[in-house]
Amino acid sequence: MRMPVTRSEWVYEKLKEVILSGEMAPGERLVVDQLARELGTSPIPVREAVRRLEAEGWVENTPFVGARVAPVRVEELEELFTIRLALEPILARTAVRGVTEEDVERLQRLVDEMDQCIEQNNTAQYSRLNYEFHRSLYELSPWKELFRIVITVWERSARSRWIFVQTPDSMPTSQEEHRAMVQALRKRDAEELERLMRRQKERAFASYIRRIGSFASQLDSHDGTDAILEPSE
């Protein structure tokens, strides 16, 4: 990731990070003066960053209400998950090409760190490390255009991560899958790595959709089908 070169770009990166991590949930308000105090800056770069996030779809601005993290629509998430399910196993398979022992050990260290998160029940850090694990694995692929597409779609779907953070029961199963992926990568077994990734995504996305549906069923929808997810109380 390139380093931000201006104050407004630095604020933009910080705000986007907390949105992607789930620290700011869908529907949560962005109060410019409060954010400026927390970030140790003036309101001007915060306003510029919020406008940029709004233009990219991460934030919405409603008259008399103000800026808030954009709500997540169930149909949008289903579409994003379907794209990820189709593309991520392919990217994992191609990651085997040219992988080094150093690459494998770096992924193993991330798995070890995630084990510690489970022991400490640190779901937020686990979520960040999970993203880093998959990004690091996919980045090994020589298919850079596919990598760019997958990461873009992953970030769009990450707005639902607050649901995962509140429900950590799947972490041990996810870790078993991560360990198996590292072993497949160590053996340069492209077909096995692709199979493991597809199985994990099928399981994880089915779980996501069930959880999202349970939240959405408690909320009013705009047209009866396109529910807006808000953070739980």
How does pLDDT run across 163-177, given as a tens digit for each residue?
555 456 778 999 999
Examine the domain organization and report whether 182 and 104 are in the same domain. yes
Q: What is the pLDDT of residue 233?
A: 31
Residue 151 within a domain: yes
DSSP for residue 140? T
d(CA 101, CA 107): 10
Confidence of residue 227 (pLDDT cuts 50, 70, 90): very low
Residue 29 within a domain: yes
Residue 223 within a domain: no
Q: What is the pLDDT of residue 160?
A: 66
d(CA 135, CA 91): 10
pLDDT(107) > 80: yes
Mean pLDDT, range 177-196, rounded to an integer:
98
Q: What is the pLDDT of residue 32?
A: 94
Q: Which residues neighbour 219 within 8 Å (Cβ) at sequence distance 6 or greater?
A: 227, 228, 229, 230
Structural domain tally of the chain? 2
Residue 225 within a domain: no
Rounded to 5°, angle at Cα 107 from 104 and 111: 135
Examine the domain organization and report whether 40 and 128 are in the same domain. no
CATH of residue 190:
1.20.120.530
Examine the domain organization and report whether 105 and 140 are in the same domain. yes
Its domain, for residue 212, covers 73-216
